[in-house]
Structure 1
Amino acid sequence: MPVEAQAPRRGSVVWRYFGDARNMLLGPPLLVLQVAHPVVGAGVLQHSNYKQEPWQRLIRTYLSLSTMIYGGQRGAERETARLRRLHETIKGVDDQGRRYHALNPEAYLWVHATLVQGGVDAHRVFGRPLTDAQITEYYADMRQVGLLLGLREHHLPADWASFRAYYDERVLNRLENNQAVWDVIDSVRNLKKPLPVIPDLLWRPFGSAAGRLAHLVTVGALPDVMRDRLGLTWSSDQERRLRRFARLVRITMSLVIPPLRIAGGITAARITMALADRRERQARKNQPNRPGPSPANALTD
């Protein structure tokens, strides 16, 4: 891992905005964009249980991101090593005969890029847009997160303008219409119960309404070129409904003091860190002479 890579600092722009609860509203469209990359889509189709356990997958992703941002240097490095171990075995051949590996730097960068852009978009749609100065600082810190993840300097665009050019080019020329995309869209539109104990009679009306709203946000937040590629329609009525919902979110969150907006992410990171510490103590107790985990290396070219 590059020695210069640093986890976000307490009070930084990333610290204050990335874990904002509103960002979770853009989780579904970001997942669509991620799996539209052929490498990511193939890995999800062949190695993920997302369709069977969407809520569990969402919680695991939330805990991972929270640890990267709010777990400090130790938490970010430990989570990086865990993610690399998890993705090392995710490889194979997709349905078009193309070989893939989850640690492909180009695909790894794309997933990171969707999260970078998603943090900016969430505040533009559901809050107050970040200023140019805030975006400059935000991207510099998220670039450090990319380095922590194992990406190299030459993988990452140097500044926000370069990142935006890269992002638009990837959407235009690299993303595709594949089965993983439609699995995500279907799971958003037809939300499963988060807990089996919830009675069907109670979940049906709530799940149906929540699914329609999540689908509206998903389609509305996708880049125009991606909507066209998927054949998704977007009407002026849908645009008005999305704006009304965004205004409601904006008004509601204005009543919440800023520290509480990121409290979930901070708490999730602390829980994850505490559980990881306990597992490490138990492992040392069971195998006192076992060497500690080696640091994660950067992704290969």
Structure 2
Amino acid sequence: MRAEGRAPRRGSVVWRYFGDARNMLLGPSLLVLQVAHPVVGAGVLQHSNYRDEPWQRLVRTYLSLSTVIYGGQRGAEREAARLRRLHETIKGVDDQGRRYHALHPEAYLWVHATLVQGGVDAHRTFGHPLTDAQIAAYYADMRQVGLLLGLREHHLPADWASFRAYYDERVRHRLEDNRAVWDVIDSVRHLKKPLAVIPSFVWRPVGAAAGRLAYLVLVGALPEVLRDRLGLTWSAAQERRLRRFATVVCGTMAVVPPPLRIAGGRIAALITTTLAGRGERQQPTTGRGQVADGVS
């Protein structure tokens, strides 16, 4: 069965805000939230090379998300199908003896939920909070994206209030301290060179400074209950540093025309949809079904 769902329309709230460059600043905290889910954490530990290639993984994730949001209906459907095919083989038994499958709807929904919440949090932290009306429209469109990705109607909370109740419950009762979480945190605190050609003596001070800032944002953006569960400290001084950084980001982005704030995402989507279109002419698209309720 083909997945349902509608790609965001040009000019919609999701179109204008999801691909904003500021959202990238919350990337590390969203990854921690994702891998703190036991199914996601186990899958990443056993099937991913993100510890060796963190920058490459970041680029792939950015290209994928940009395609779903800005690639139009056909491009978004094609990318959603690719993601489902990719996750079909990610399964196994975790270090506590629990069986898992990446396409289990509870885990698949959680990853989507972190991205939904992340878009709202990024603008509240580094810009201007979305209005209630904007959030309602944003969630309605992101719910359509969830359907497009293969989730079903009954998997997705009906509205923003229901989503917030679901999200808080998952954070409080489902997320856990695990090795994948600390691998992510360690990779943020000790950033690897994005390009091998960068001399080590140049990257050493730059990477150290960037790592400290990324760690500050990571910890500050996590829900307090998860921060406490992981034993991560957060002081008033750290909060002030984060506020100062957020003020700088907000002031900088205020002079950037709105179309340029999402230009990177639109360009990335254009590249991936063009390349995928060429490949599609030689190989038909498959795997366009929904996420199954009974995945084991």
TM tier relative to shorter chain: over 0.9
1:42 partner SS: helix
Q: In the alignment, which residue of structure 1 is the partner of 2:28?
A: 28
Q: Determine the C-alpha separation between the residues in 2 that align with 1:44 and 1:179.
A: 10
Runs of 4+ residues deviating >4 angstroms: 1-4
Q: Determine the C-alpha separation between the residues in 2 that align with 1:262 and 1:15.
A: 8
1:299 aligns with 2:294: no
Kept in 1: contact 2:3–2:147 (CA 8 A)? no
The superposition leaves residues 119-173 of structure 1 with CA deviations (integer Å, 9 ceiling, x where unpaired) of 0000000001000000000000000000001000000000000000000000000
Q: CA deviation at 1:296?
A: 1.1
Structure-1-length-normalised TM-score: 0.96
1:115 partner SS: helix
The superposition leaves residues 26-49 of structure 1 with CA deviations (integer Å, 9 ceiling, x where unpaired) of 000000000000000000000000
Q: In the alignment, which residue of structure 1 is the partner of 2:229?
A: 229
After superposition, residues 117-196 of structure 1 pair within 5 angstroms as: 117-196=117-196
The superposition leaves residues 66-90 of structure 1 with CA deviations (integer Å, 9 ceiling, x where unpaired) of 0000001001100011001100000
After superposition, residues 1-301 of structure 1 pair within 5 angstroms as: 5-281=5-281, 283=282, 292-294=284-286, 296-301=288-293
Q: Determine the C-alpha separation between the residues in 1 that align with 2:161 and 2:285.
A: 37
Distance 1:185 1:3, change over 3 A: closer
Q: Which amino acid aligns with 1:123?
A: H
Q: Which amino acid aligns with 1:17?
A: Y
Q: Determine the C-alpha separation between the residues in 1 that align with 2:19 and 2:208.
A: 27
Q: CA deviation at 1:274?
A: 1.0
Q: Which amino acid aligns with 1:189?
A: R
Q: CA deviation at 1:293?
A: 2.5
Kept in 1: contact 2:2–2:288 (CA 8 A)? no
Q: Which amino acid aligns with 1:60?
A: R
1:180 partner SS: helix
Q: CA RMSD in A?
A: 1.0
Q: Determine the C-alpha separation between the residues in 1 that align with 2:235 and 2:4.
A: 47
Q: CA deviation at 1:294?
A: 3.2
The superposition leaves residues 260-296 of structure 1 with CA deviations (integer Å, 9 ceiling, x where unpaired) of 0000000000000111122233x35xxxxxxx22351
Provide the identity percentage: 81
Q: CA deviation at 1:5?
A: 1.3
Kept in 2: contact 1:2–1:147 (CA 8 A)? no
**Structure 1, 272-281 or 19-28: larger mean CA deviation:** 272-281
Q: Determine the C-alpha separation between the residues in 1 that align with 2:106 and 2:184.
A: 22
1:241 partner SS: helix
2:100 partner SS: strand
**Structure 1, 4-13 or 28-37: larger mean CA deviation:** 4-13
Q: Determine the C-alpha separation between the residues in 1 that align with 2:243 and 2:9.
A: 33
The superposition leaves residues 85-124 of structure 1 with CA deviations (integer Å, 9 ceiling, x where unpaired) of 1000000000000000000000000000000000000000
Q: Determine the C-alpha separation between the residues in 1 that align with 2:105 and 2:115.
A: 16
Q: Which amino acid aligns with 1:94?
A: D
Where does structure 1 lack aligned partners over 5 or more consecutive residues?
285-291
Kept in 2: contact 1:6–1:144 (CA 8 A)? yes
Kept in 1: contact 2:4–2:148 (CA 8 A)? no
Q: In the alignment, which residue of structure 2 is the partner of 1:288?
A: none
Q: Which amino acid aligns with 1:211?
A: G
Distance 1:240 1:13, change over 3 A: same
Distance 1:276 1:68, change over 3 A: same
Where does structure 2 lack aligned partners over 5 or more consecutive residues?
none
The superposition leaves residues 209-246 of structure 1 with CA deviations (integer Å, 9 ceiling, x where unpaired) of 00000000000000000000000000000000000000
